[in-house]
Amino acid sequence: QVQLVESGGGLVQPGGSLRLSCAASGFTFRYFDMSWYRQTPGRERELVATITGTGITNYSDSVKGRFTISRDNAKSTMYLQMNSLKPEDTAVYYCKRPRVDPHAVDYWGQGTQVTVST
């Protein structure tokens, strides 16, 4: 069974840094593009960043220049380095693996809470 487990969230002051991890299992990790999303109460889940199986990255405008997505295929793990954090970055952060075809499903982790506050 596909499993995605996020970790690394916590409380950090504005301007601080945090690194999130997503440990994957149950599939051949290197074959899949992966993504980070985030969600706050009252808002839709938002795409933060994506990375292809070979390391090509894309970022939302709100985090570009501050966040870096990366992956270690040998460890089946994806990361999100978050620098210059702002209060508006506060959210539950999720990793996602896309479906393999239209009959399959997207897979999500349980999420990790990031709180940016004084």
Q: What's the pLDDT band for 5 if we cut at 50, 70, 90? A: very high
Residue 21's pLDDT is: 98
Strands 112-116 and 10-12: parallel
Q: What is the pLDDT of residues 34-89, one digit of tens each?
A: 999 999 999 999 999 999 999 999 999 999 999 999 999 999 999 999 999 999 99
Residue 95 has which token pair? Answer: 């990793």
Q: What is the pLDDT of residues 91-108, one digit of tens each?
A: 999 999 999 999 999 999
In this structure, are residues 34 and 97 in contact, taking their beta carbons and an 8 Å threshold? yes
Backbone phi and psi for residue 21, each to the nearest 5 degrees, phi listed first:
-125, 150
Residue found under tokens 């440990």: 23
Residue 105 has which token pair? Answer: 């499903």
d(CA 71, CA 55): 7
